[in-house]
Amino acid sequence: MAERSFAREVEDLKLGEGEIFRGEGILAITKALLQSGVSYVGGYQGSPISHLMDVLADAKDVMQELGVHFETSASEAAAAAMLSASVMYPVRGAVTWKSTAGTNVASDALSNLSSGGVTGGALIIIGEDYGEGSSIMQERSHAFAMKSQLWLLTPRPNLPSIVEAVEKGFELSEASNTPVMLQVGIRSCHVHGQFDAKDNKRPAFTLKQALENPVRDVNRIVLPPASFIHEKEKLEKRWPAAVDFIKKHALNEYFGPSEGEVGIILQGGLYNGVMRALQQLGLADVYGNSSVPLYVMNVSYPLIDEEIVDFCAGKQAVLMVEEGAPEYIEQSLNTILRRRDIQTKVSGKDVLPMGGEYTAPVMVKGIKNFLEMYQRVLLGNQPPIPDPSPILNDPKVKALAEVVPPRPPGFCIGCPERPIFAAMKMVQNELGQHHISGDIGCHLFSILPPFNLGSTTMGYGLSPAAASAFNVKADKRVISVMGDGGFWHNGLATSIGNAVFNKQDGVILVVDNFYSAATGGQDILSSRAINPRRKTNNSIVDAVKGVGATWVRQIDRTYDVTKMRDTLREALTTKEEGPKIIVASSECMLNKQRRVKPQFAKAVKDGKRMVKERFGVDEDVCTGDHACIRLSGCPSLSVKHTDDPLKDDPVAAIDNNCVGCGNCGEVSEAAVLCPSFYRADVIHNPTGWDRFVARMRAHVIGWLQARRDAGRVVFAD
**pLDDT at residue 153, as a whole number:** 97
Are 201 and 36 a contacting pair, CB within 8 Å?
Answer: yes
Q: So what's the pLDDT on residue 345? A: 96
Examine the pLDDT at 714 and tell me if it is beyond 70.
no
Instruction: Report pLDDT digits (tens) over 3-23.
Output: 667 878 889 999 999 999 999
pLDDT at 625: 73
Please tell me the predicted confidence (pLDDT) of residue 397. 76
- Within 8 A by CB and 6+ apart from 176, the residues are 151, 238, 239, 241, 242, 245
Mean pLDDT of 37-46: 90
CB of 451 within 8 A of CB of 494? no
Beginning with the edge strand found earlier in the chain, give each strand of the sheet holding 436-438 in spatial order. 456-457, 436-438, 479-483, 507-512, 580-585, 551-555
Q: Which of 60-69, 401-410, 601-610 comes out lowest in average pLDDT?
A: 401-410
Residues 164 and 32: their CA atoms lie apart, in Å, by 8
pLDDT digits (tens, 9 = 90+) for 680-712: 888 999 999 989 998 998 999 888 888 877 877
Scored b (16 or more CB within 10 A) or e, 248-285 reads eeebbeebbeeebebbbbbbbbbbbbbbbbbbbbebbe
pLDDT given at position 650: 82
Rounded distance between C-alpha atoms, residue 165 and residue 33, angstroms: 10
Phi/psi of residue 41, nearest 5 degrees: -140, 140
DSSP letter, residue 250? T
Segment 160-205, tens digit of pLDDT? 999 999 999 999 999 999 999 999 988 888 899 999 999 999 999 9
* Under 8 Å between Cβ of 631 and 671: yes
Give the start-to-end residue ranges of the domains of the chain. Answer: 12-248, 253-379, 418-589, 609-710
Q: Decide which of 246 and 441 is more confident.
A: 246
**What confidence category does residue 407 fall into, taking pLDDT thresholds of 50, 70 and 90?**
low
Q: What pTM was computed for the model?
A: 0.84
Using pLDDT thresholds of 50, 70 and 90, give the confidence band for residue 552: very high
Architecture of domain 253-379: 3-Layer(aba) Sandwich (3.40)
pLDDT tens digits for range 76-128:
899 999 999 999 999 999 999 988 888 888 889 999 899 999 999 999 999 88
Query: For the segment 623-663, what is each residue's pLDDT rounded down to a tens digit?
Result: 777 777 777 777 787 788 877 777 777 888 888 778 777 77
pLDDT per residue over 348-372, tens digit each?
999 999 988 898 889 999 999 999 9
Percent of the chain with pLDDT over 70: 94
560-594 pLDDT, tens digit per residue, is: 888 999 999 999 999 998 999 999 998 888 888 88
Q: What is the pLDDT of residues 496-548, one digit of tens each?
A: 998 999 899 999 999 998 988 777 778 888 888 887 888 888 898 999 999 99
Note the pLDDT tens digit of each residue in 470-496.
Answer: 888 888 899 999 988 888 888 888 889
State mean pLDDT over 229-243.
Answer: 92
Judged by average pLDDT, the poorest of 430-444, 530-544, 592-606, 669-683 is: 669-683
H helical segments located in 271-327: 271-280, 305-312
CATH code, 418-589: 3.40.50.970
Q: How confident is the model at residue 695, as a pLDDT?
A: 92
Residue 357: CA atoms inside 13 Å, Cβ hemisphere, count?
15
pLDDT of amino acid 227: 79
pLDDT above 90: residue 283: yes
Compute, in degrees rounded to 10, the torsion defined by CA atoms 31, 35, 102, 157: -60
User: Which residue would you say has higher pLDDT here, 668 or 427?
Assistant: 427
For the chain, what is the total number of helices (H) and then of strands (E)?
Answer: 27, 24
CATH class of residue range 609-710? alpha beta
Query: What pLDDT score was predicted for residue 692?
Result: 92
Backbone φ and ψ for 163, nearest 5 degrees, come out as: -65, -45
Provide mean pLDDT across the span 306-324.
Answer: 95
**668 falls in which pLDDT band (50, 70, 90)?**
low
* Total length of the chain: 717
Cβ neighbour number for residue 641 with a 10 Å cutoff? 11
Please report the pLDDT score of residue 717 as a whole number. Answer: 61
Residue bearing the bigger pLDDT, 134 or 424: 424
pLDDT at 550 over 60: yes
Contacts 24+ apart (CB under 8 A), 388-397: 388/361
> What's the pLDDT tens digit per position in 319-331?
999 998 899 999 9
| Topology match between the domains 418-589 and 609-710 | no
Q: Which of 207-221, 292-306, 492-506 has the highest mean pLDDT?
A: 292-306
Superfamily of domain 12-248 in CATH is Thiamin diphosphate (ThDP)-binding fold, Pyr/PP domains (3.40.50.970)
pLDDT higher than threshold 90 for residue 273:
yes
Whole-number mean pLDDT of the chain?
87
Q: Is 331 helix (H, G, I), strand (E, B) or coil?
A: helix
